Structure 1
């Protein structure tokens, strides 16, 4: 029979003591560092510059917290060039104001961002303050960190910041950090007008004037073997001068090019035409030569009008084919 050796009544606790409690200022500093890490991880390198947009949590003192985040970014990216936009959503005390801080190592980038933001947000941007921090952080390379702080007014009817403001800020930073190698060479990731036209047409099933007339006639007469069983309209986006000079198509729907997406979008209930109530409408876009119509038709497909297309050769081809034309009275 085994016996147990008596153990000492003394007990040694090898557990580590709990970490000291942080005061409120230290908690805010830790939160700012965590936001800075998240902002850096989400950033992308563009033209050798780290670029990113980050929305932080709402706080009672948004400007001070954004400056803490900016300092934490500077401490982490001491030897790198960067440009960040930090945005704080409305607080309980200021429900219609966002706080925006643009921070970067290059004064030209920050200056350019502030100018683009002023132009993009027009009268919403207020109280822009340059170099708001009383002292700059100096990295090991001696580069200053420049900051612009502003209030972004948001009316109650405006959607959440993520709906428009975040993509807009991404576009602002992208443009601000772009430096063309030569004014005579196209910048990277740009497309010529001919390339854009080819890209648009690659996603359309374009039709000839004869096919357009056939589709419209079949839709009006409810022919069983009609190419499409949806309402079909020819949309004339030419200028008034072109219509008066070259003629019109009887029954064509006159829509200004600038108004086209809003008037034909079924979701724009306050602005759409009476025909634009459903997404399966067959919109056949027509211009004078068949170039602008391709870009316009592609835009319609992007808002969900997948049956939209355009007419090859435009009104000029329609007229050359001997199809009916209505001339304006002199």
Structure 2
């Protein structure tokens, strides 16, 4: 009633509870591990990078008493996120508990991602990979010594998953940035002042540059034996050319002690000689060039193959020593 008060001694009737409150059952260690694995898997998916429509990620986690089983739980959590294309790496770090090594576990949506990841991992961790075990459901264990002991390891694993996610290269289509040999030759020859056989012959008789001038035959022995050669030319086969003419090289010829040498290279038909002359220019021998058409063009032009080449020694070479 209005204005009435409740006596402090009055009893308050308890409201009956319609159900019984029961304590939750104790959680098992397995349930906790499953929840942790779920959380790690979801976190990896949320933080993943998207490269070429493929989600990639790396997680470093401490070793547990059951590493393989725990890593598989994480992989299952990732797969339950219904990703279309993905590749993830989970690595155990710290002192192993039940084994002598740590693990890198890869899980993916496609077998070719796994195959690439295995190849790249074995090359990144040379001498540390002790075994590879393929698992069903597009996953793989790699046993690696001391994973995570340096910052390099996580960076290396990121590089592995990123490169493994690249689209496969069609073997019938030239890779981006590649050039055909004709394009390479064209680009190289744009850097050379090539000589016709007659021009090379005249220059060898009367050198135009104030530096030692040498004619260099880079053909293999079988071509020289079959086709003949030019008396007075230095014979330095292609596979040794750079080492013989680089003034920095311990294997250089004694004449190759300066960078202004005039080196006129020839091969059989004038193709590989262009690449060789350009390579010499890259070493700093900027006067290097080659003969258009090579030895075949020299011979077809009716030029003598036994000529007195008036090449001089380098002024830094010791008197009385041989050219080679």
TM-score, length-scaled by structure 1: 0.50
Secondary structure of residue in 2 paired with 1:56: strand
Change over 3 Å in CA distance of 1:100–1:241 after alignment to 2: same
- 1:174 and 2:162 matched: yes
**Which residue number in structure 2 is paired with residue 203 of structure 1?**
none
Change over 3 Å in CA distance of 1:2–1:116 after alignment to 2: same
Secondary structure of residue in 2 paired with 1:240: coil
Secondary structure of residue in 1 paired with 2:5: coil
Change over 3 Å in CA distance of 1:45–1:15 after alignment to 2: farther
Change over 3 Å in CA distance of 1:160–1:21 after alignment to 2: same
Secondary structure of residue in 1 paired with 2:127: helix
**Which residue number in structure 2 is paired with residue 114 of structure 1?**
118
Number of residue pairs matched by the alignment:
197
Query: Displacement, 1:246?
Result: 3.2
Contact 2:89 2:104 in 1 (8 A): yes
Secondary structure of residue in 2 paired with 1:183: coil
Find the aligned partners of 1:148 and 1:173 in 2 and give their Cα distance.
13
- 1:185 and 2:176 matched: yes
**Which residue number in structure 1 is paired with residue 48 of structure 2?**
43
Secondary structure of residue in 2 paired with 1:93: coil
Aligned partner (choices 129, 133, 147) of residue 133 of structure 2: 129
- 1:146 and 2:138 matched: yes
Aligned partner (choices 230, 240, 258) of residue 250 of structure 2: 240
- RMSD over aligned Cα atoms: 3.7
Find the aligned partners of 1:237 and 1:151 in 2 and give their Cα distance.
47
Query: Displacement, 1:240?
Result: 3.3
**Which residue number in structure 2 is paired with residue 272 of structure 1?**
none
Contact 1:89 1:97 in 2 (8 A): no
Q: Any residues of structure 2 matched to 1:78-93 within 5 Å, and which?
A: 79-91=83-95, 93=97
Q: Any residues of structure 2 matched to 1:26-41 within 5 Å, and which?
A: 26-41=31-46
Gaps of 5+ in 1: 134-144, 188-235, 249-287, 293-313, 318-324
Gaps of 5+ in 2: 179-245, 260-279, 288-313
TM-score, length-scaled by structure 2: 0.51
Contact 2:86 2:109 in 1 (8 A): yes
Find the aligned partners of 2:176 and 2:30 in 1 and give their Cα distance.
51
Change over 3 Å in CA distance of 1:118–1:17 after alignment to 2: same
Contact 1:106 1:146 in 2 (8 A): yes
Is the radius of gyration larger for structure 1 or structure 2? Answer: 2
